Amino acid sequence: MSSVVNRDSVKFINSEEERIEDNVITESAIQISLKFGNEKNSNIGVIMRTPGNDSELITGFLFCEGIINSIHDIDEIIINDNLAIIQLNQDTEVKSNIHERMNTITSSCGICGRSGINDLLHFHGPQLSENIRINMKQINKSLVLMRENQDMFTVTGGSHACARFSNAGELIEIQEDIGRHNAMDKLIGSMLMLDTDLVKDEYVVVSGRASFELVFKSIKAGFPIMISVGAPSSLAIDVANEHGLTLCSFARFDKMTIYSGMRRILKF
């Protein structure tokens, strides 16, 4: 299934009417089921996403949910149309009452549908690196690089992006999706599928606002710095401070607001 489709539309410019086929980002459902050996499948939920990099999306999602700790917990991912069956190895323990969703996980939702909060707000993340330092010039460059590489956004204007950058400001990878949480899951899943360690001296830039879910996923992946183009939420700031994450929001060229971890940001 394509990530971008055409739909008939009527465009008005200065009262002039033009009928065109417009490029629109695809949104469709994928059902996620877990399987242990010959046991019956356990349904985790349905995710609304943009097709493409589905294995990365699923891997990142399962990692951030705490269902897997590494790519080695997955024996196989089988995707048929809009059904994904994840064969987990026998050593992986899953508490289905925690992870089963009560409804569809929409493209705007991160933790929606959880049957209980549990320890969600008091999770244990990795120790975040204190070795990374970046400055405004580097952040400006990162914003430009991310925008230049948002291929789906350029065509449709309808996608979010998450991008990884090295300490030197080099773009490592970018992922896009109609859902901002999905874009982050795809980025994290791609890293896990390469069987790399959690990130250390890297930072992540997100195209939207800094929600709790994105801060949560950034910390789980090991990013010491998260930069958002949009506004943060109160809970995102509180969790960032609690875990020592540097959170910068309202990032524009030559300006931004730092809500936690000022020590990792240099002026020049």
**For residue 237, is pLDDT > 60?**
yes
In-domain check, residue 129: no
Same-domain status, 168 and 82 = no
Mean pLDDT over the full length of the chain: 89
Confidence (pTM): 0.89
**Class of residue 69 by CB neighbours under 10 A (exposed 0-12, middle 13-18, buried 19+):** exposed
Q: Mean pLDDT across the stretch 50-76? A: 94
150 in Cβ contact with 161 (< 8 Å): yes
Residue linked to tokens 């992870």? 99
Q: What's the pLDDT at 100?
A: 55
Q: 233 and 143 in one domain?
A: yes
Contact indicator for 192, 170 with CB cutoff of 8 Å: no
Residues 161 and 45 in one domain: no
Least confident of 110-124, 128-142, 193-207, 252-266: 110-124
Catalytic annotation, pick one of 64, 109, 162, 248: 109
Q: Is residue 9 part of a domain?
A: no
Give the chain's end-to-end CA distance (angstroms, integer).
45
Residues 172 and 244 in one domain: yes
Strands 246-252 and 255-260: antiparallel
Q: Which of 71-75, 194-198, 200-204 has the lowest mean pLDDT?
A: 194-198
**Cα 252 to Cα 268: distance, rounded to the nearest angstrom:** 16
Which structural domain, as residue segments, surrounds residue 146?
134-266
Q: Kindly state whether residues 36 and 66 are assigned to the same domain.
A: yes
User: What mean pLDDT do residues 167-195 have?
Assistant: 95
**Both 107 and 139 in a single domain?**
no
Please count the other Cβ atoms lying within 10 Å of the Cβ belonging to residue 26: 17
Query: Which tokens in the block code for residue 110?
Result: 């991160």
- Give the amino acid at 222: G
Name every residue whose Cβ is closer than 8 Å to that of residue 211 and which is 6 or more positions away in sequence.
110, 180, 181, 232, 233, 236
**What is d(CA 64, CA 219) in angstroms, rounded to the nearest whole number?**
10
Q: Clarify whether 109 is annotated catalytic.
A: yes
Of residues 148, 139, 47, 50, the one with CA closest to residue 101: 47
What is the CATH number for 54? 3.10.20.10
Percent above pLDDT 70 for the chain: 88
Q: Pairing mode, if any, of strands 225-228 and 28-36?
A: unpaired
**Number of domains forming the structure of the chain:** 2
DSSP assignment of 233-262 equals: PHHHHHHHHHHT-EEEEEEETTEEEEEE-G
- Least confident range of 44-48, 108-112, 129-133: 108-112
